Structure 1
Amino acid sequence: MKKITKFIASTLIFTSVFSTIAFAKAPEPELIGTSALAVDLETNEIIYAKNIDKKMYPASITKLMTALLLAENKSPGDLLTYPEAAKNEAPYSYGLNIHP
């Protein structure tokens, strides 16, 4: 019985001493990109932010994702609405612009 008690006590001490490492703050990630944003979707807490107020234009993968979502959720004959402010946005990479 003493062996089991000693084993359990040593295991608890060992895990409590080394588990504090897991609670240490992780270092900030090194990002190559100009801006980034990570948000906890459950709490809406911003976990990481880099240049979030800087005006950035969407990358090609964003445009592809938009096209995929439209293809999956809309029919070719559906009308799409957009805010009036969209006219003032810069043209995208193909040199085209959206006009009402």
Structure 2
Amino acid sequence: MKDKKNNFNKSTICHVNTTFIHKAASARRTFSIIKALSKNNYRVIQVTGRDFEPHRDWDLSDIKFVSIPYLVKYINPINDIIAFFKLWKFFRNLKPQLV
């Protein structure tokens, strides 16, 4: 019961990337950041597009992952509009302290 109470007191941080592929330096850097945040009493949610390949050795147990398939790397007006509204709806419902 205590863990649930502490979880409500944690600030929520959402990190958004179009891709999260362990071979990319940006994904390794992102993993380091979100892992450190989760260890420092933050509730971390990683929002990614459809390209999601974490390294098998990464401990992701305390990080929530949300996939928005329309969130893609390359410019596409239709995907961009859909992704915008899906992100907007997600953030409106979640109300994170930091994005």
The answer, yes or no, to whether TM exceeds 0.5 is no
**Higher Rg:** 1
Q: Indicate the structure with greater strand content.
A: 2
Normalising to structure 1: TM-score of the pair?
A: 0.19
TM-score with structure 2 length normalisation? 0.19
